[in-house]
Amino acid sequence: MSSTTLRLGDVAPDFEQESSLGTIRFHDWLGSSWGVLFSHPADFTPVCTTELGYTAKLKDEFAKRNVKVLAVSVDELESHHGWIKDINDTQNTTVNFPILADADRKVATLYDMIHPNASVTATVRSVFIIDPNKKIRLTITYPASTGRNFDEILRVIDSLQLTDSHSVATPVNWKDGDDVIIVPSLKDPEIIKQKFPKGHTEVRPYLRITPQPNK
């Protein structure tokens, strides 16, 4: 099995793999939900422990966005179960999502999570956001030494879900509730009035600011 470079808009590769919560058939498991697939260098490592603990605490935030979370580590299932006990204890939480036991590197290879110039065995901290059509909408790769910002991952999901349903883009440092940008391709003044009844400010013909339309 050889790795491939996955690009935005590609269909996320399907797989079947054991997890801490039973067998995962990825596309079936996702169903009509959004998904966050994220990898970890190894079990019983400090940065990963904090990441998984924080992700568990975000359960309600992911749920209200219709997002399922799936972690990947290349250690065995028995190791995962021991590690989950440590995460729950040290992070004062309960891990409530599956962790894939990817000992054969099947998922790590499909998603190009092992970067040999960094490590020939451990996965880097990859993140994939996948939409209900199983299309990859975001990829981020962090080094093993740097913990991810899951508030940023939620922010991106908010942006993707908003821009999928409205003719807008989100500006720098945007957060849910902030003003947004009308997409340049929308030019008809009457359609703009209909879509954005709160009005808009034209800074330049290509830069038109409007209140977030679903608020």
**Model pLDDT, residue 125:** 78
Spatial CB neighbours of 125, under 8 Å, sequence gap ≥ 6: 38, 39, 40, 41, 141, 142, 143, 144, 146, 147, 148
In angstroms, the CA 167 to CA 185 distance is: 9
pLDDT digit string, tens, across residues 177-202 = 999 999 999 999 999 999 999 999 99
Tens of pLDDT along 46-74?
999 999 999 999 999 999 999 999 999 88
Can you tell me the distance from the alpha carbon of 125 to that of 45, in angstroms, rounded to the nearest whole number?
13
- Which pLDDT score is estimated for 112? 84
pLDDT score, position 143: 83
1 pLDDT tier (thresholds 50, 70, 90)? very low
Q: Is 21 a catalytic residue?
A: no
DSSP H or E segment with residue 202: strand 201-204
pTM of the predicted structure, to 2 decimals: 0.91
40: pLDDT strictly greater than 70? yes
Residue among 12, 37, 48, 101 flagged as catalytic = 48
- Neighbouring CB atoms inside 10 A of 15's CB total 16
Q: CA-CA distance, 95 to 51, in Å (whole number)?
A: 11
Measure the CA–CA gap between 96 and 14, rounded to whole angstroms: 22
- Give me the pLDDT at residue 120, please: 44
Segment 94-143, tens digit of pLDDT? 999 999 999 888 998 899 887 544 454 455 578 999 999 999 999 998 88
Residues 135-152, mean pLDDT to the nearest whole number: 91
Set out the domains of the chain in order of their start, with CATH numbers: 16-148 (3.40.30.10), 166-210 (3.30.1020.10)
pLDDT at 93: 97
For residue 17, the model assigns a pLDDT of 96
Whether the pLDDT of residue 18 is over 70: the answer is yes
Residues of the chain with pLDDT > 90: what percent? Answer: 78
CA separation for the pair 41, 1 (Å, rounded): 20
DSSP 34-102: EEEEEEES-SS-HHHHHHHHHHHHTHHHHHHTTEEEEEEESS-HHHHHHHHHHHHHHHTS---S-EEE-
Task: Output the pLDDT for position 212.
Answer: 97
- Which stretch of DSSP H or E encloses residue 211? none
Q: What is the pLDDT of residue 66?
A: 98
How many whole angstroms separate alpha carbon 10 and alpha carbon 111?
A: 12
